[in-house]
């Protein structure tokens, strides 16, 4: 069943007509990585300490939950390359991927819920739960009742980074998502040394390339300032580019492109 579900996620992303740059066959999002974690994994309790007591457990979102299915949708090379030359604000291709790629990601969440229900299981997407809430001012900054990246970590798909991103085998430039189901699946092993080990800064104190890529100084050796980042991502960038690009949001992603972790775990580039 794990294989069948992974194949369905990959098929959906490959075939979705919205997963194409305008007037092009180039997809926004490449073949997904897929992982599974047990709903009863202690790590979801740990997240209540690490993120905040408001972070929900899988069975608070879906009574009888057995598995959290997580995926990474790697951003296509053409989109990443377009953003590499940018130094202040994101490229048009990046902005289109932020909006239309995320629409495809949302369609995948909904499709997978229906697909699982169609096979006789229960399922839900935390992102679309009435219990999903975002909090602006927590001890860890802006946070929500469900973190897709923490679900991806639980499912063995990567580790966190200095820039507050999530570095997978296909790098840090991606969209990610999850659904919860009562279908019991085998968990994907977490093989990383620790929750930060894919980032060179945490691995051996080197790199820090993302620090200089950020146009507003939101990243330092001390970490990522979510508030400063958001001012650019949800303020300055859309104010400057939304009309030009025809997108309500633009993202930014400068710290996710032209960096060693853009499309791989960078440890071999030590
Ligand atoms: S650019 Fe370097 S320091 Fe920044 S997240 Fe990537 S590996 Fe870590
Ligand atoms: S997304 Fe943009 S503003 Fe935010 S940390 Fe990365 S480079 Fe800086």
User: Roughly how many angstroms between the first and final C-alpha of the chain, as a whole number?
Assistant: 38
Is pLDDT at 141 greater than 90 in this prediction?
no
Bridge pairing between strands 174-181 and 123-124: antiparallel
Q: Per mean pLDDT, which range of 16-20, 140-144, 235-239 is the poorest?
A: 140-144
The CA distance from 139 to 10, in Å, is: 37
The fraction of the chain above a pLDDT of 70, given in percent, is 99
* 152 pLDDT tier (thresholds 50, 70, 90): very high
Q: Is the CB of 233 under 6 A from ligand 1?
A: no
Nearest protein Cα to ligand 2, atom 4 = 229
165 CA distance to ligand 1 middle (Å): 9
206, 214, 258, 260: which to mutate for ligand 1, most atoms within 8 A of CB? 260
What would the pLDDT profile of 67-104 be if each residue is shown by its tens digit? 999 999 999 999 999 999 999 999 999 999 999 999 99
Give the position, in ligand 1's atom list, of the atom nearest the Cα of 261: 6
Closest to 173 (Cα-Cα) out of 210, 130, 223: 210
Q: What is the pLDDT of residue 268?
A: 58
Q: Which ligand is nearest to the CA of 263?
A: 1
Is pLDDT at 269 greater than 50 in this prediction?
no
Nearest protein Cα to ligand 2, atom 6 = 255
8 CA distance to ligand 1 middle (Å): 32
Task: Kindly provide the residue ranges of all beta strands, DSSP E only, lying in 95-210, ordered along the sequence.
Answer: 123-124, 134-138, 141-144, 159-160, 166-167, 174-181
Q: What is the pLDDT of residue 26?
A: 96
SS3 content of the chain, % helix, strand, coil (to 5): 40, 15, 45
The CA distance from 186 to 233, in Å, is: 37
Cβ-proximal residues to 211 (8 Å cutoff; 6+ apart), any chain? 162, 219, 220, 221
Predicted TM-score (pTM) of this structure: 0.96
Q: Is the CB of 247 under 6 A from ligand 1?
A: no
Could you tell me the residue ranges of all domains in the chain?
2-264
Q: How far is CA 103 from the centre of its chain?
A: 13
59 CA distance to ligand 1 middle (Å): 34
Is pLDDT at 270 greater than 80 in this prediction?
no
Over residues 123-148, the mean pLDDT reads 92
What would the pLDDT profile of 24-64 be if each residue is shown by its tens digit? 999 999 999 999 999 999 999 999 999 999 999 999 999 99
The mean of the pLDDT values for the chain is 96
Q: Is the CB of 260 under 6 A from ligand 1?
A: yes
Nearest protein Cα to ligand 1, atom 6 = 261
172 CA distance to ligand 2 middle (Å): 13
Is pLDDT at 161 greater than 70 in this prediction?
yes
Structure tokens at 258: 């032209």
C-beta separation of 160 from 197 below 8 A: no
What would the pLDDT profile of 178-223 be if each residue is shown by its tens digit? 999 999 999 999 999 999 999 999 999 999 999 999 999 999 999 9
Q: Is the CB of 171 under 6 A from ligand 1?
A: no
Structure tokens at 201: 């800064």
Q: What is the pLDDT of residue 139?
A: 84
3-state secondary structure of 106: helix
Helices (H), the chain: 2-15, 43-50, 58-61, 77-84, 92-96, 102-118, 148-154, 200-204, 209-213, 226-231, 237-245
Q: Is the CB of 252 under 6 A from ligand 2?
A: yes
Q: Which ligand is nearest to the CA of 198?
A: 1
């Amino acid at each position: 069943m794990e294989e069948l579900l992974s194949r369905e996620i990959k098929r959906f992303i490959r075939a979705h007509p919205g997963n194409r740059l305008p007037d092009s066959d180039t997809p926004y999002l490449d073949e997904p990585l897929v992982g599974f974690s047990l709903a009863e994994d202690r790590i979801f309790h740990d997240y209540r300490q690490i993120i905040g007591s408001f972070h929900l457990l899988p069975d608070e979102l879906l009574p009888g939950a057995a598995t959290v299915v997580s995926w990474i949708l790697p951003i296509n090379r053409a989109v990443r390359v377009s953003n590499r030359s940018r130094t202040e604000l994101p490229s048009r291709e990046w902005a289109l991927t932020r909006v239309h790629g995320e629409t495809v990601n949302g369609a995948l969440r909904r499709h997978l819920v229906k697909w699982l229900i169609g096979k006789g299981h229960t399922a839900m997407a935390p992102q679309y739960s009435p219990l999903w809430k975002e909090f602006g001012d927590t001890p860890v900054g802006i946070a929500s009742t469900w973190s897709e990246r923490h679900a991806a970590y639980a499912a063995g798909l990567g580790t966190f980074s200095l820039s507050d991103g999530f570095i997978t085998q296909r790098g840090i430039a991606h969209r990610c998502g999850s659904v919860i189901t009562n279908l019991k699946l085998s968990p994907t092993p977490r093989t990383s040394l620790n929750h930060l080990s894919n980032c060179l800064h945490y691995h051996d104190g080197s790199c820090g390339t993302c620090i200089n890529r950020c146009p507003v100084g939101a990243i330092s050796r001390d970490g990522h300032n979510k508030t400063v980042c958001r001012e650019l991502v949800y303020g300055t960038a859309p104010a400057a580019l939304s009309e030009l690009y025809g997108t309500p949001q633009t993202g930014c992603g400068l710290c996710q492109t032209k960096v060693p972790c853009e499309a791989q775990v960078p440890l071999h580039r030590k």
